[in-house]
Amino acid sequence: MPQRIQLSPSLMTMDLDQFKEQISFLNDKVNSYHVDIMDGHFVPNLTLSPWFIEQVKKISDVPLSAHMMVTDAPFWVSRLIEVRCDAICFPSEAANGVAFSMIDDIHAAGLQAGAVLNPETSIETVLPYIDLLDKITIMTIDPGFAGQRFLEGTLDKIVRLRQLREEHGYGYAIEMDGSTNLKHWKMISDAGPDIYVIGRSGLFGLTNNIEDSWNQMTREYEQSTGFPFDNGIHHRAEQSGEAR
């Protein structure tokens, strides 16, 4: 049956020379923005930072979700709390011994707490605190770089997380991150995540114009899944218009 999805473009994969133009176009079309924070140790790459989040907030009121790929997770959690990042997602592999304190600090600040599972990491890793999480992100590629091979077996985790949520009444949203594009829309949709992180292969790299890329992305989603594209944004716009 048709489903409503949430879309979270990965700002790491934007064209930085068109940054303001792309953000301005997407602000009334997406549900959140995905911001990768990498320290060069947890993964061999350096990308965005809490400072970058402050800059985005100057031109957007769309919720921001930080995906940390860092070894010192508590340090980065405190920096992201300072800049009021709406959702702060820590790597489950780096949370042993500090998960509960990080979640408590994030919630005390009135923000959402999430955990990220890399392809080799099992759901069992987050079971001790799964009832406290607002979001769980499933990596469908190896972390650290865009454009890596899609790992179809990771979709089983999405299915299991949905089952656990239904069985126990957990409140987390399920997010997938990695290689969301025409080739994989259907199998991802069948697994049923709530939030789709989308990057160069599915949006920013489709054309040289963000509006054309957006239109192509929605066509590809519909072509692949057989569903009309619906992320709820136009419904909110219609309701706002009726209210006026």
Q: Hey, what domains does the chain have and what are their CATH numbers?
A: 6-243 (3.20.20.70)
The answer to whether the CB of 214 falls within 8 A of the CB of 29 is yes
H or E stretch covering 36:
strand 33-38
pLDDT score, position 14 = 87
Indicate which residue of 36, 39, 134, 194 is catalytic: 36
Q: What is the pLDDT of residues 201-241, one digit of tens each?
A: 999 999 999 999 999 999 999 999 999 999 998 644 444 34
Q: What's the rounded mean pLDDT across residues 172-201? A: 95
Residue 95: phi and psi, rounded to 5, are -105, 0
CB atoms within 10 A of CB 140: 27
pLDDT score, position 135 = 98
36 labelled catalytic? yes
Indicate which residue of 39, 134, 177, 194 is catalytic: 177
